[in-house]
Amino acid sequence: MKFRKYGCAKRGLSLGLLIAGIPWLSACSVSTNYAALERAEESYLAARDNPAIDSDLDASAVLDSAEIDVVNANNTRKQATLFGEREDPDQVDHHAYIIERKVSIARAVAAKNAADQQIAQLSVERDQLMVAAREREARDRENAEREAAVLIVQRAQEEEALAQIPHADVARIEDGLLVSLKGMSFPLEEATLTEEMKENLEPLATFLQEHPDRKLTIEGHTDDTGPVPFNDTLSEHRAIAVKTFLIDQGISPQRLTSRGRGQSSPLAPNDSDEGREQNRRFEIVIQTAAE
């Protein structure tokens, strides 16, 4: 893997230069938490020294892209310090997230290519086998390994694509990927999408158009204002409003499920206007194939 393009030869870009050895870090860290970004940089450095990735051209190319993000993240911190500005914590977390995802993709690509090489070798051995049962066993193993590796790469790429959506907060859950749009709240006791909500839903609709095999569940939520039966109905209407918008954007209704969660799953305490506003939301669960 080559690193000279960004001025840091192999093993030349140490964690000390990225983190401890840069004077601006101590100044910025007073107001911004860089722990996640530092962990991401450590993951990048560990992956860079991984022989499996280093010997794989495809995985190396992905890691080279991650290096650009590492350099950009550090340049952003330098600029913020130079002008006495506080770097946006969400932007810092976003940099860390993208670096971690690209490192994960590089590892998955290396694993996939290694599996492909193993498959090729197994194919040679299989041709030499005379027993039909042994041949079927080798073939099944090859298919399972390849499918698992492809799925890991696919899920990581999908997760990275969702993370690029403005205001998107993406988390892995048992059923797939949980997507919420930070700062997008329904007006009090209303189920009408604001123009800002529609604008931020459009990139999600584009993602769904590019991944036509993905189904999703839309969940509406409320604060604790009003009776429980009213909130249950209101949350259902909020989920339906999001579903209707996505259908209008060309997403098949057969891919969409909506349901109301009422006030049962608050994101924040309902003891303040700010907390109640955060709870007047919707969330989307994008279902993925099991690994």
Do 146 and 178 fall within a single domain? no
Please report the pLDDT score of residue 32 as a whole number. 58
Residues 158 and 177 grouped into a single domain: no
- Among 163, 194, 220, the domain-final residue is 163
| C-alpha dihedral, 139 to 145 to 147 to 150, nearest 10° | -140
Residue 167 has phi, psi (to 5 degrees) of: 70, 5
Residue 156, pLDDT score: 75
Instruction: State what percent of residues in the chain have pLDDT above 70.
Output: 85
Domain count, the chain: 2
113 and 129 inside one domain: yes
pLDDT of residue 191: 93
Q: Are residues 173 and 260 in the same domain?
A: yes
Place of tokens 């080279």: 64
Same domain flag for 120 and 219? no
Q: Count CB atoms within 10 A of the CB of residue 154.
A: 15
Distance CA 55, CA 62 (A): 13
Query: Which residues neighbour 130 within 8 Å (Cβ) at sequence distance 6 or greater?
Result: none
What CATH number should be reported for the domain holding residue 184?
3.30.1330.60
Q: Which helix (H) or strand (E) holds 218?
A: strand 216-220
Q: Give 259 or 34, the one with higher predicted confidence.
A: 259
Structure tokens at 150: 């492809």
Q: Give the DSSP per-residue string, 119-158.
A: HHHHHHHHHH---HHHHHHHHHHHHHHHHHHHHHHHHHHH
Quick one: 83 and 177 in the same domain? no
Q: Tell me the Cα Rg of the chain.
A: 23
| For residues 98-126, average pLDDT | 84
Mean of the per-residue pLDDT values of the chain = 81
Structural domain range at position 183? 168-287
- Structural domain ending residue among the three candidates 116, 137, 163: 163
Do 127 and 255 have their domain in common? no
- Do 143 and 22 share a domain, yes or no? yes
CB 36 within 8 A of CB 101: no
Residue where a domain stops, chosen among 117, 140, 163:
163
Confidence band of 239 (pLDDT split at 50, 70, 90): very high
Say whether both 16 and 143 belong to one domain.
yes
**How do strand 168-173 and strand 216-220 relate by DSSP bridges?**
unpaired
Residues in Cβ contact with 83 at an 8 Å cutoff, skipping those fewer than 6 apart: none
Same domain, 116 and 246: no
Q: Are 9 and 64 contacting, i.e. CB atoms less than 8 angstroms apart?
A: no
Q: Is there a single domain that holds both residue 159 and residue 193?
A: no
Residues 139 and 108 in one domain: yes
